[in-house]
Structures are given as C-alpha cells and as structure tokens.
Amino acid sequence: MIFRINSCKEAMGCYGCTYSIMLPYNTKFDWEDNAQYKPKYIAVDKCLLSELLELWKLGIKTTGNCCGHGEVLSFISCKEGYEHKMLELGYENIINSYFPESRIYFKPKTKIILDIKQYAEF
C-alpha cells in the first residue's frame, strides 16, 4: 500500500501539480477522425503517476485521473472495455455524479492523505 501526503495547494484545473506525460498507446479524442490515432500527451497528477504507470504496463488504457486536490475524492478512469480488468486487479468502482451510469471510474489504490492528522489515523 502506497501512502502519499497530499501537499497539493493548486486549485483543480490549473494543472500546477501535474506532469505532462505521453500515453504509451495510440488513441484519439472524440472530436478527431481515425487518422488522428497516435500517442497523446495528458496531464497526470504527480501523486498518481506511479500507479498509472503500473496500469499502463498491464495494458490498461486510462482516460483520466485526479488526486482530488484536497477538495474532492480522487479517481482513475479507464476506457470502456477495461472495467473488468480494473475489477480483477481489485479496484473499487466509484460513481461520478456527472456520469452516474458510467462504470469506468475507480478509486485509486494510492492512499492519498490530505494532512498529517489523517496519517495518524492509518
């Protein structure tokens, strides 16, 4: 189990606590045509990077991630069709209130501790 003290003071959406990482597989955005299948750069929250690298090594294609920035729950989302692999790896489905019918959102295994007081509770 990995513990990280989340010292992220950056507001969500400013990308101040992220790395720009090239995906290790070809993909395209919804608005692109099939000729645009190629590796893309995405923003990865620093505290989730090692977990995402492991998922990619296992062949799981992810679509998003967020550490929560001390404001909301963290998540990792996968492409449709990879949900069963995430469940096989022991990931827990979480509900995204914006897409309540979707089952592609999962609770990261990286335990993100928001402050030192929470660390003492583990």
Express each pLDDT in 65-115 by its tens digit. Answer: 988 776 778 899 999 999 999 999 999 999 888 788 889 999 999 877 665
H helix intervals, the chain: 49-57, 83-88, 116-121
pTM for this prediction: 0.77
Q: Where are the domains of the chain?
A: 3-121
Express each pLDDT in 28-54 by its tens digit. Answer: 777 888 888 888 888 898 889 999 999
Q: What are phi and psi of 88, to 5 degrees?
A: -60, -30
What is each CA distance from 101 to 20, 49, 75, in whole angstroms? 29, 27, 16
